[in-house]
Structure 1
Amino acid sequence: MPEGKIIKALSGFYYVLHEDQLIQCRGRGVFRKNKITPLVGDEVVFQAENDQEGYILEVKKRKNEMLRPPIANVDQAILVFSAVEPDFSPALLDRFLVLVEFNHIKPLICITKMDLTTEEQEERVLSYAKDYTEAGYEVILTSSETEAGIDRLNPHLENKISVFAGQSGVGKSSLLNVLRPDLELKTNDISSHLGRGRHTTRHVELMKIGNGLVADTPGFSSLEFLNIEAEDLTSCFPELLNASKECKFRGCLHLKEPKCAVKAKVDTSEIPDYRYEHYVDFLQEIKDRKPRY
């Protein structure tokens, strides 16, 4: 049986790339029975009715998956956040980072619209960029208008499956249009009433950029920690995980435990206050989460 990769899912159809040919497929009923939903990025076995249509018979084992956005087998997540319009939000970025880290996907932080910043706004963004870089993340500052930073971003996309994710209106589609102008992806302005962008991407689709595949995804503004447990959260903050090795108690949650190395580094500003505060907020959110039956 032929095999291929799902590069688009739309209206119940899965578009499978096989030897440079795109086959429009449906999923067999066995997927519904076994509660398996094929995702963009899945490697699949399919049966072709002809050279244009077929049925997916099997979904190969995934190395990772995300539900929001729905995509599988991702090598890295490009987390796109704007410096302004909307303003850079470390709280929202940390939510994205937690989800990506939990799914064992390498994150890369891309801050857009640097050309629109005032001197004060630029200093604020640079300060955050320094913190995230010291925490172990790569941060790239870009502008789709001036194309600043694009030369730094391009090499990261080669021979990888990357997902572009972030809040609506931060410029994901504009950035992709710069990376590959013939895409001509639809973009939209920020709503002055709502203070955020209107959704312009309606589905997940993998697109070839250079020798890599990139997914533009529908924008969204919140994330729920549905599958993350309290004891998992420290591992989603690299600088907290590194410091936790020196905590007195194994399984320390870094709240009120004595001789907590994480809290000690927060007190000496080795770990930024806001990163720790977000950790505490997320931990409480996980503890307050209603159990699923």
Structure 2
Amino acid sequence: MYSGRLIKGIGGFYYVHVEDQVFECKARGLFRKKKITPLVGDYVEIDVLDHKNKKGVIEDIKSRKNELIRPSVSNIDQAIVVFAVTQPDPHLSLLDRFLVLAESQRLNIIICLNKIDLLEPADYEEIVHTYRAAGYKIILTSTKKEIGIEELRHELKNKTTVFAGPSGVGKSTLLNHVHPGLKLQTGEISTKISRGKHTTRHAEIMEIEENGWVVDTPGFSSLDMNFIDESDLHYYFPEYSFHLENCKFNSCKHLNEPGCGVKEALQSGKISESRYNSYVQFIEEIRKHRRY
């Protein structure tokens, strides 16, 4: 038996990194019976069936530290959420959705705003202010001008990091600049639909120097809130934590209740209106799903 890490899964085949080798493996049928699906990022035990052709079978999946739903990866330390300041224009509600997912998994979160060479700082400073005020670290990057690349590289050391964001924002290009040896496929934005051409087709975890692993993921365009409990949602907006104790009721949902500390903070400008609108939208989605 050999210990390794599942780095890629395609069509029922799982590729497991063991020291300096990669084995193509199938999973034992018992996982299917237990309704357990091996995930990229899993630490596994494999039985090697063919050393020469590097074939094996996954015998055991170690307990997961955490598990993301979309992208489907496990054992992640942090998330770097990549959005472009333009081409495509940033969809802040989608950014907030991924932040909620990452917060629910207790991940360290960094927001990377890419392609800053295409705009003047004044054109994206409101976004920067909104998310820094919410407590997030932001790295501003441009691969064309090599801005922020070294800072990004530093954040990847000794961690397993999931890179995620919409298609076409430059995730793969950024990773290629951070670690040229990855040689990830990249593509241009489709001018017709203003989205990326989905050059990354599946989640894959890759080892880089300084004991780091990165997960390049397919771009996503939607992320539902079905997995979130309505009563927990406000905990996943970190800026709310400073105002919850000012709510009159412990069960306050921060919608129409009297004496709401969050609404008071919103009215005084301490909480972003766009962030609050995302919160209300997510509450409505959770409630709608619960009715069905």
Task: Return the TM-score normalized by structure 1.
Answer: 0.95
Q: Deviations over 1:204-238 (max 9, x none)?
A: 11112222110111111110112111111101100
Conservation of the 8 A alpha-carbon contact between 1:160 and 1:213: yes
Q: Deviations over 1:69-94 (max 9, x none)?
A: 11000001110000100012221110
Q: Deviations over 1:72-123 (max 9, x none)?
A: 0000111000010001222111011011111222211001000111x3xx32
Conservation of the 8 A alpha-carbon contact between 2:150 and 2:178: no
Shift of residue 62, structure 1, vs aligned partner:
0.6
Q: Say whether 1:133 aligns with 2:128.
A: no
Q: After the TM superposition, which of the residue ranges 247-256 and 33-42 deviates more from structure 2?
A: 247-256
Shift of residue 255, structure 1, vs aligned partner:
0.6
Shift of residue 290, structure 1, vs aligned partner:
4.8
Conservation of the 8 A alpha-carbon contact between 1:7 and 1:206: yes
- Cα distance in 2 for partners of 1:130, 1:189 equals 29
- Cα distance in 1 for partners of 2:44, 2:278 equals 39
Conservation of the 8 A alpha-carbon contact between 1:110 and 1:139: yes
- Cα distance in 2 for partners of 1:76, 1:127 equals 25
Q: Say whether 1:243 aligns with 2:243.
A: yes
Count the aligned residue pairs.
Answer: 289
Partner of residue 71, structure 2: 69
Secondary structure of the equivalent of 1:175?
Answer: helix
Shift of residue 124, structure 1, vs aligned partner:
3.4
Quick one: which amino acid aligns to residue 10 of structure 1? I
Partner of residue 228, structure 2: 228
Secondary structure of the equivalent of 2:225?
Answer: coil
Conservation of the 8 A alpha-carbon contact between 2:152 and 2:178: no
1:68-107 counterparts in 2 under 5 A?
A: 68-107=70-109
Partner of residue 260, structure 1: 260
Shift of residue 269, structure 1, vs aligned partner:
0.2
1:68-217 counterparts in 2 under 5 A?
A: 68-117=70-119, 119=120, 122-211=121-210, 212-217=212-217
Distance of aligned partners of 1:239 and 1:208 in 2 relative to their CA distance in 1, 3 Å threshold: same
Q: Say whether 1:37 aligns with 2:37.
A: yes
Secondary structure of the equivalent of 1:39?
Answer: coil
Provide the aligned C-alpha RMSD in A.
1.3
Quick one: which amino acid aligns to residue 214 of structure 1? V
Structure 1 unaligned runs (5+)?
none
- Cα distance in 2 for partners of 1:197, 1:236 equals 28
Q: After the TM superposition, which of the residue ranges 259-268 and 15-24 deviates more from structure 2?
A: 15-24
